[in-house]
Amino acid sequence: MENFNMSKHTSFYAIGLSYKKADAVVRGKFSLDAAAKATILIQAEAEGVESLIVTSTCNRTEIYGFASHPYQLIKLLCENSQGTVEEFQEVAYIYKNQDAVSHMFRVGTGLDSQILGDFEIISQLKIAFNESKANGMVNSFMERLINSVIQASKKIKTDTEISSGATSVSFASVQYIIKNVKDIANKNILLFGAGKIGRNTCENLVKHTKHEQITLINRTKDKAEKLAQKLDLIVKDYADLQLELQKADIVVVATGAQNPTIDKAILNLKKPLLILDLSIPKNVHENVTEVDGVTLIHLDHLSQITDETLENRKLHIPQAEAIIEEIKEEFTEWTKNRKFAPTIQALKEKLNAIKEAELNKQRKKNAKFDEAQAELISSQIIQKITNHFVNHLKDGDSMDEGIEWIEKVFQLEQEKSFF
């Protein structure tokens, strides 16, 4: 596969970290909120980065972009998060050109997700892409790549069973509750936070436990009330959190806060309490485990639950990988064509200029000159010559050398600059 360089000085990189090597604490340090992502885009543009997208989810933080060196992108991440370059080096990955493209395909199709086949990430990539596009930070390469990844994701979802069965962080948390809590129908469940994972967990709890005593608290009460109407929950004020924690048997924490919102100081318990923290960064302080009767489970523990659904999903990995290869090949073909297109266009212009000069000579020399016939024949010859060059560039081992040779022989640098 050819090099993806957009120019002789930049390469396409994917840099970041994920659940594979970075634990929840480290991922929390590198997590980026909306303001940090916006700043990265502005800073990248100011520093001359041609195209870039930024994603940050509970399981990963990544930057995809063009740079002369990956440190340009690492610097953007570290300057806008709580993480240091040293911490990044310990847990990070850096992919370049072809490998970066392959990585985005695996991430966007759920093959790299903490729970195999979880398609949440593709919507995150779309959002990141749209934010970059709105800021003028998307070039045609990035647009085509994202669209190819979206296409692969849709096809895998439709044509394989890799996302069959309800398996996600929220479903895993409900499974955990069902397996570990007896007499669940009579337990008090408190949901703190109305973020996406919290909402999904709540829906799964209602669906799988037929539970009617779920209480919801969110910092923004109107957001909580909208969700409560949909799922028939009881909404309490944020000020009632301490009191509701005393009443609860199970607490699901899914807030988007950057610092812990629950610690042992606000727990005044009279009975055992199971806390599931589904937030990144962690929103429950580890010190709660010092309180008698408290069990704290974080989403990193939940992802280790491998049930039959996950085992079944693994059977569909080869089929998903075949779909990725097919669409990635189409993308590679496009990048190749796009790379030599300006040279071929310039070559056509050069040959057409030679043709016009020759036809003009013949017009002056020959009164019976058949212009239409000459035009047709010479145009067909030019097309056949350029087709030979196209085929040579497509099939040759080194496209860069081929392009350079054609430009040198036909002195195309000047003509090419006009396209």
Distance from C-alpha of 101 to C-alpha of 74, rounded to nearest angstrom? 18
Q: Which residues sit opposite 234 in a β-bridge?
A: 215
Q: Is 58 a catalytic residue?
A: yes
Distance from C-alpha of 76 to C-alpha of 44, rounded to nearest angstrom? 7
Three-class secondary structure of residue 385 per DSSP: helix
Burial category of 276 from C-beta neighbours within 10 Å (exposed 0-12, middle 13-18, buried 19 and up)? buried
Distance from C-alpha of 98 to C-alpha of 103, rounded to nearest angstrom? 9
Q: Are 283 and 257 in contact (CB under 8 A)?
A: yes
End-to-end CA distance of the chain: 25
Q: What string of DSSP letters covers 342-367? A: HHHHHHHHHHHHHHHHHHHHHHHH-T
Integer-rounded Cα Rg, in Å, for the chain is: 29
Burial category of 336 from C-beta neighbours within 10 Å (exposed 0-12, middle 13-18, buried 19 and up)? middle
Candidates 17, 53, 58, 172; catalytic one? 58
Q: Which residue, 192, 198, 195, is CA-closest to 260?
A: 192
Q: Which residues sit opposite 98 in a β-bridge?
A: none
What are the residue numbers of the active site? 58
